[in-house]
Chain A
Amino acid sequence: MFSSFMINTWIAATAIAFVAAFVGFFVVARRSAFAAHALPLGAFPGAAAANLLGVNPLIGLLVFVGMGVLLLRQLVRMGRRDVGTGLLLVLFLGVGALLLSMTSEYAPAVFSLLFGEVLGVSGADLWPILGICALVVVGIVLYFRPLLLDSTFPDLAALQGIRASRMDLVFLTLLALVAAMALPVVGAFLVFTLLVGPPAAAQALSGNPMRVLALSVIFAEGCIWSAIALSYWTNWPIGFFVGTIGAGLFTVARSYRHWNQRQRNFVAL
């Protein structure tokens, strides 16, 4: 499991889960699960296009996810947010279906792009992934306070001169970068579980932002590590484990909070 061809995956996954926890914290705070679901799927045809043109898949992913962010902002400006997000998602997936129908390696390629592949990281991919992770960390450090304020108290943020549309762009860009990186490992469909599950579970357990962030990182790393290990042993798709572990974490955290509140109410009585 820790042989040389798996080392790249372990390093990349650890870095991805770390930044995913931070970006996911904002996904949960901004209630943007739909956008977090749509952007990775918007990146998905990029991999197919790169496959067709014979360029590095990461470039294709970044190009398409960038177009996704721009188009999403335009669509959201035109109408309802959820309708715009949904239409962006199906448009890009439709294009992805078309591009995949043109390649010869149809079914297996689709499957690993959509549901993840433990061996999705080659040695050449590792450095770009770590570079982008560093970029995301810098972005979060630079914008942490305004983003947090805009996500939790938008009115107060506006009073302080923080522009909501700019924060939205910053948030979507960070989200897009994480989506493009995580896609080859976790799969287009399950990237967002990694983004939503651990922070949502953390948020159910604590109200303090710093504690929530720390818990999100722990949960995200635990989630991806166990998913990779289980996927390696069983040979089942990694997406299945990320999805079910993410949902399990959330359910357990919610039940714990529920139970805790009951206990407290009981003591108060």
Chain B
Amino acid sequence: MLLGNSSFFSSEPVQTALIVGTCAALVSAVIGVFTILRGNAFAGHALADVSSAGGAASFLLGINPLLGFLGMAWIAAFGMEFLGVRKVRERDLATGIVLGAGLGLSALFLYLDVTTTSTTGAAVSVMFGSMFAIPQSLIGPALVASAGVLLLVGLLYRPMMLTAVEPDLAAARGISLRWIGLLQLLALGLAVAVCALAIGAVLATALLIGPAGAAIRLSRRPAQAICWAIAIGLTAVWGGIWMAYESYYWFSGNAWPVSFFVVTLVFLFYLAAVLVAKVAGLSARPKSVIWPHCEV
């Protein structure tokens, strides 16, 4: 690894990783809460996986990888909308079919990457991320994409939350479920692209549903859940980056991947949240009072 002996915060790769990782944790926590409340965890995961095809294509075409991830995530979002993710009965299958086609494309592009260019590590860095190898030039686009997500959610917070928690009531109030759903998918695509850049396309799901899933167990109000999700996501990302950096010394020169630490921390936080919720009796309350629309 090219981390050398410089101290943690003064190392350039670490700085870039911290900035992009913070963006990823922040936006995925915010959008993740909506995603889980709507029961869209599979769709969120599928968008992230399919975005890998865009990441692979960006190596091939020599364009900005963030644009690649984003473009493919949006195409997948429209594909799922078209095949009928809104009908609950059809949702599972439509998501699965789009996911399969996207991963197939991703297989092809990664194969072409390896054979036509000399980027042999493309499969690994697109799928599993390589946070210490993110070029500095991507910090700007990552910040813009994150700001886009926060702006969308900030503007549409009330209708989005109402649609997620009480779709019937939202419809009765004249909120267009279709438009809100589509805008939410667009925001989800942006968040997924930033996450995919940070910890890899297939592991982006960890940041998207892990912190939000834990947060929903811990809180009774949506805003509170978002705060918890942000705290958990940031801790996992920062902790993961620090541990991966230090692991260079722990394992005598064999640094373990950042993504592994981030995912493991997210998982442990989820387990801890479930335990805390049980001990504190949060789950003993009838869930329908807390989160009306969702079966838990």
- Do B101 and A86 touch (CB < 8 A)? no
B114 contacts partner chain A, Cβ-Cβ < 8 Å: yes
A138 contacts partner chain B, Cβ-Cβ < 8 Å: no
> Contacting B107 at CB < 8 Å: which of A41, A98, A187?
A187
Choose the segment among A12-20, A189-197, A207-215 that binds chain B (4+ C-beta atoms closer than 8 Å): A189-197
A237 contacts partner chain B, Cβ-Cβ < 8 Å: yes
- Do B41 and A80 touch (CB < 8 A)? yes
* Cα–Cα, bound, A241→B101 (Å): 9
Chain B residue numbers with a CB within 8 Å of A236 are 108, 111
- Do A93 and B203 touch (CB < 8 A)? yes
* Cα–Cα, bound, A237→B109 (Å): 10
Chain B residue numbers with a CB within 8 Å of A82 are 36, 39, 41-42, 209
Q: How distant is A58 from chain B, measured CB to nearest CB, in Å?
A: 22
- Do A237 and B111 touch (CB < 8 A)? yes
Q: Interface centre among B49, B101, B267, B274, by most A CB within 10 Å?
A: B101
> Contacting B104 at CB < 8 Å: which of A79, A107, A239?
A239
Using CB atoms, name the residue of chain B closest to A99: B260
- Do A241 and B121 touch (CB < 8 A)? no
Interface size class of B (residues with CB under 8 A): 35 or more
Q: With A190-B100, A193-B100 in contact, do A200 and B93 touch (Cβ < 8 Å)?
A: yes
- Do A196 and B97 touch (CB < 8 A)? yes
B123 contacts partner chain A, Cβ-Cβ < 8 Å: yes
Which B87-133 residues have a C-beta within 8 angstroms of A?
A: 89, 92-93, 95-108, 110-111, 114, 120-124, 127-128
* Cα–Cα, bound, A190→B93 (Å): 15
Secondary structure call for the B interface: helix
Q: With A91-B264, A93-B203, A110-B124 in contact, do A86 and B209 touch (Cβ < 8 Å)?
A: yes
B176 contacts partner chain A, Cβ-Cβ < 8 Å: no
Q: With A86-B42, A115-B111, A193-B103 in contact, do A107 and B121 touch (Cβ < 8 Å)?
A: yes
Chain B residue numbers with a CB within 8 Å of A114 are 107, 123, 127
- Do A239 and B107 touch (CB < 8 A)? yes
A87 contacts partner chain B, Cβ-Cβ < 8 Å: yes
- Do B45 and A243 touch (CB < 8 A)? no
Chain B residue numbers with a CB within 8 Å of A110 are 123-124, 127
- Do A243 and B105 touch (CB < 8 A)? yes
Q: With A34-B45, A80-B41, A94-B260 in contact, do A243 and B104 touch (Cβ < 8 Å)?
A: yes
- Do B263 and A111 touch (CB < 8 A)? no
* Cα–Cα, bound, A34→B94 (Å): 11
Using CB atoms, name the residue of chain B closest to A94: B263
Instruction: Show the binding face of B for A, using Cβ within 8 Å.
Output: 36, 39, 41-42, 44-45, 49, 83, 89, 92-93, 95-108, 110-111, 114, 120-124, 127-128, 200, 202-203, 205-206, 209-210, 213, 217, 254, 256-257, 259-260, 262-264, 266-267, 270, 274, 294, 296
For this complex, 10 residue pairs linking A to B, each with C-beta atoms less than 8 Å apart, are A34-B96, A79-B217, A80-B41, A82-B39, A87-B206, A87-B209, A90-B205, A90-B267, A91-B267, A95-B260
Q: Other CB < 8 Å A-B pairs besides A110-B127, A114-B107, A244-B105, 10 of them?
A: A31-B92, A34-B45, A80-B41, A86-B209, A107-B120, A107-B124, A190-B104, A193-B96, A200-B96, A243-B101
